[in-house]
Amino acid sequence: MAEEKESTSIPLSQAENGGVDPEDPAKSPPSSPNSSSRKACCFVLQSWVSKKFMTGCVVLFPVAVTFFITWWFIQFVDGFFSPLYEQLGIDIFGLGFITSLLFVFFVGVFVSSWLGAAVFSVGEWVIKRMPFVRHIYSASKQISAAISPDQNTTAFKEVAIIRHPRVGEYAFGFITSTVILQRENEDEELCSVFVPTNHLYIGDIFLVNSKEIIRPNLSIREGIEIIVSGGMTMPQVISPQERVDRQKERFPLNRMT
């Protein structure tokens, strides 16, 4: 009788599950069709919600970044003249921003004249005599000269594409100057190519043979936009300037139309 009681005894865990061992898949009860369809519906709904949420983030992210940067820029520029208006008892938001824009405009008009250019040259001479400030001023002036409508000798000359760092890979940069490398056999013309590594402020300088440089049909402004945007504004097709010039010579009627 004791042996029969021992053989018919059921563990407590199986008794709670109706005598079925949950670890044994052969003895587990089959899942009902309703539970399977419910899980499938939940998975589809979760996937749809996640996809639509990511789509909303993708759409709103550039809008939020643009609004934040624009709002920060307006507040930053407005802060130059807004304290002056506060001293006068005038509290109008945006008035300092408009005043700053007018101030920049009149500075451009003044510097364009011979008197303004002379005054600016004196101030520039003083800044270049300062030990630490002159380096910051020279670097920032070169960057501003690159996007200036009045192109001069210190601005970026051309957009360049060089083979770097390995064969089959290319780097995007700007030609800043040319130099003649004197050798024993013959002289070699090299171009100084500035390849930005951190937007436009930090980069590497490469001396490349002028014949090995690819000069695309891109303006300086387009090249800067490509660098600042991380390549997102890169055109789908880039043609060397020489090829574009040859096509214009072969088909002059296309230019007229």
The domain spans of the chain are 114-147, 158-229
pTM of the model: 0.49
Reported in sequence order, the residue ranges of 82-169 that DSSP labels E, i.e. its strands, are 158-163
Total Cβ atoms within 10 A of residue 175: 19
Per the CB < 8 A criterion, the answer to whether 200 and 143 are in contact is: yes
Tell me how far apart the alpha carbons of residues 254 and 197 are, in angstroms, rounded to a whole number: 39
Give the model confidence (pLDDT) of 21-40 as tens digits.
544 544 555 555 667 777 77
| Nearest residue to 227 via CA among 204, 196, 202 | 196
Give the model confidence (pLDDT) of 164-223 as tens digits.
887 788 888 888 888 888 888 888 889 988 888 876 667 888 998 888 898 888 888 888
Mean residue pLDDT of the chain comes to 77
The answer to whether residue 12 scores a pLDDT higher than 70 is: no
Give the model confidence (pLDDT) of 120-176 as tens digits.
888 888 888 888 888 888 777 776 766 665 555 456 788 899 988 877 888 888 888
